[in-house]
Amino acid sequence: MKNVVIVGSGTGGLTAGNLLVKKGHKVTIFESHSAPGGYTAGFWKKGFYFESGTLGYESSGVMNKTLEDIGVADQVRRVRKKDRWISPQSDFAFDSLDAFKQAVYAGFPESRAALDGYFAGIDKIYAVMEPFVVGPVPMQFRGFAAFKAMLPYITGGRKFFQILKKYKDKTSEDIAGEFFAPGTPIYRIFCEIGYPKMGIDSLGGFFLSVTKDYWHVADGMQQLANVLAGKFKERGGTLYLRAPVDKILTARGTAVGVESGGRRFEADVVISACDYKNTFLKLLDDPMSVPAAQLEKIRKAEVSQGIFTVYLGLAWPNAELEKHLKAYTVNYSPLAYDLDFDNPNDADHFQKCGFSLHSLSLINPKLAPDGKSSLMILAMSPTHWQDNWRKDDREAYKALKERVKSDLIGRAEAIVPGLRSAIEYQDAATPLTYERYTKNTDGATSAWSWNPRKKFYTGGIPKMTVATPVRNLLIGSCWVGQIGGIPNAIAAAYLCAKKIK
């Protein structure tokens, strides 16, 4: 039996904790927040429930296998995502790639030939990725079952990497520019999909998730975290809340425990299920345990964009809100501007960018008081926008936050007329808010940058390595791979559990 300490109670930390206590290890999880979940948590205000981070998860096969292995599959109710997209040129709902394509063709009939060329490439990457995106991942199995789970990667892997090689270091913006004239609305559609300037593999994965395999937790993401935390404690694990880890302790290049609240906790193995940068640049008690070049690489590496979220509790019943939204999630873009997420000085960014509207009460009426509804407005932010949100001047920060919140509410009224008059609760979160609560550098929403030209993990075949230069210190979060997300966090947890005998 090993004594294992896990830093962070996000999906990766809770999954690793459950797998390890099930194997008979002594496991302690430290969480700085008042509730488990990390970026997969939620909160209640005035009787309204809101997601505080991610709205759901992709790769249902990975999640389903995890919940079955832990023994809580019957405690998490899931609802398939369905999107509605609005722009001056089109307004459509879709739940398949074909439906998305048909709507875009209808909105831009003059671009049919160019769309044919664009979708020919997307169809190829979609087809080759689908078999190993929608099912469990091989690291969730052992023995022959692991080999069987690897077959789709073996049969489709060569073709997949041939496609990747063809598109090496090309971004979604580059690919759109091959078929559509820059500065046109149709060009901007494919530039604004997903994360800014993401690679072809991420683009294929994005289309797969939004058109086939993205799910909401019907009772809120906090329910998922609570269920995983409950099973972990039921099996004898220890979970400390409001207990930030101040230091990861080392001796002669080996992790030996953590320090939290002035107390020392010994460990045979430490799993960092939190932000990679903070792990090595802030928490590690002896940075000399890591080669200087590696520390510099970690320091310079760029992370995924943060997000600005408006939380609204509405006096309207769900029927009134649904009349306007017509879907759980509505994505809107004016398609009138070339957005530059690498420019933190564009003061008008939130007047120009696209945004999403998401209603949890339409998914589950119990997530709002009787006769009322809830709405979230979400818009991606350039990193360090406006002098990093004026974070060194509290009053200037609050004024900037209030201005952006008001701007987004005003813009949302074009879709939901009368919205402002129905508000009875409101709040907002900036990327700095997310950084404060989740400890993710710059409020990163999905680990490292999705731009293929800004990779932290370099080399040919993408792979996950939970080992670190510090012996007995493992990475058990979505930061273990270039592209974050819940499936990567779960994969990291399984790899950690396998490594600890």
pLDDT by residue (tens digit) across 90-131? 999 888 889 999 999 999 999 999 999 999 988 888 888 888
Phi, psi angles (nearest 5°) of residue 142: -130, 160
pLDDT above 90 as % of the chain: 83
**Could you identify the residue written with the tokens 């350039």?**
382
Tens digit of each residue's pLDDT (9 = 90 or more) over 167-191: 888 999 999 999 999 999 999 999 9
Give bridge partners of residue 312 from the DSSP assignment: 375, 426
pLDDT for residue 158 is more than 90: no
Question: With bands split at pLDDT 50, 70 and 90, how would you rate the model's confidence at 135?
Answer: confident
Alpha-carbon Rg for the chain in angstroms: 22
* Whole-prediction pTM: 0.95
Would you list the DSSP string of 1-55?
--EEEEE--SHHHHHHHHHHHHTT-EEEEE-SSSSS-GGG-EEEETTEEEESS--
Q: What is the pLDDT of residues 408-426, one digit of tens each?
A: 999 999 999 999 999 999 9
462: pLDDT strictly greater than 80: no
* pLDDT tier, 460 (very low <50, low <70, confident <90, very high otherwise): low
